[in-house]
Structure 1
């Protein structure tokens, strides 16, 4: 059971995060964005967000094999160079205690414009906030049908 409905208890704060998320959604490729959101959510153990972003990728027509492989992206050929750069950056920003190494940053900078890279950093930060909201409040995905 969910511990706290933040959207109801702190609606202004919740809307502010949602507005940042909406900004990012207008500025980054949707498939790339959901791959990043899925990977961060896997790392953070946010069941609600893993379900949401895997489902969003399915709705976009992303092959299920690619969705399943997000957690092992380094071991497959399913991802473009830009997706790989974004996933590597996602992992290092999500586990920020070690920082982002220069090679990972440079690879991302080689694949994205400065504006895209700025939006990508905002996207990774935002999904990490959503994950922390979901995990700390015990937000869970909708029940399976059937």
Structure 2
């Protein structure tokens, strides 16, 4: 199956914005591995096979365990994640669903600085953009290589 449109080739001008956001987020004090876990969780919610393939490979390369990867979709019921990671997952889900409760806001505030909350929100929005592009243009998963996009 071939993608309808190869937006990664044809949309270079527009994609510069998303790539620059990714570059900015790599410098965040949140930590690259946690942001990748958030990307993985949001991609699960959105059903983006391409992004799940990409972020699972990146996370494994960072040393993430299979147990933790498999448990992300059920993070509330598993003991594998820190309180900070749990707060990030709750925030990612709330922002993705466009409904941030006071409880979730307070929880994330307990674990992240205001700047980190902004970065986390931009990260969630960024992966939602990528998910929607890959789903809309039916980007075929499987051939991503770790570090392929810098």
Q: Into which bin does the TM-score normalised by the smaller protein fall?
A: over 0.9
TM-score by length of 1: 0.93
1:124-139 superposed matches below 5 A: 124-139=124-139
CA distance in 2, matches of 1:13, 1:117: 25
1:1-146 superposed matches below 5 A: 1-27=2-28, 28-96=30-98, 99-142=99-142
CA distance in 1, matches of 2:53, 2:134: 12
RMSD value over aligned CA atoms?
Answer: 1.3
Q: Which runs of 5+ in 1 are unaligned?
A: none
Q: Which runs of 5+ in 2 are unaligned?
A: 145-150
Which has the higher mean CA deviation after the structures are superposed, 41-50 or 135-144?
Answer: 135-144
Which has the higher mean CA deviation after the structures are superposed, 19-28 or 72-81?
Answer: 19-28
Return the structure number with greater helix share: 1
Match of residue 147 from structure 2: none
CA distance in 1, matches of 2:140, 2:3: 7
In the TM superposition, what is the alpha-carbon distance from 1:143 to its structure 2 partner?
5.3
Q: Deviations over 1:3-24 (max 9, x none)?
A: 1122322211111111111111
Aligned residues: 142
TM-score by length of 2: 0.91
Q: Deviations over 1:37-83 (max 9, x none)?
A: 00000000100001111111111111110011000000101000000
Cα 1:113/1:143, change in 2 over 3 Å: closer
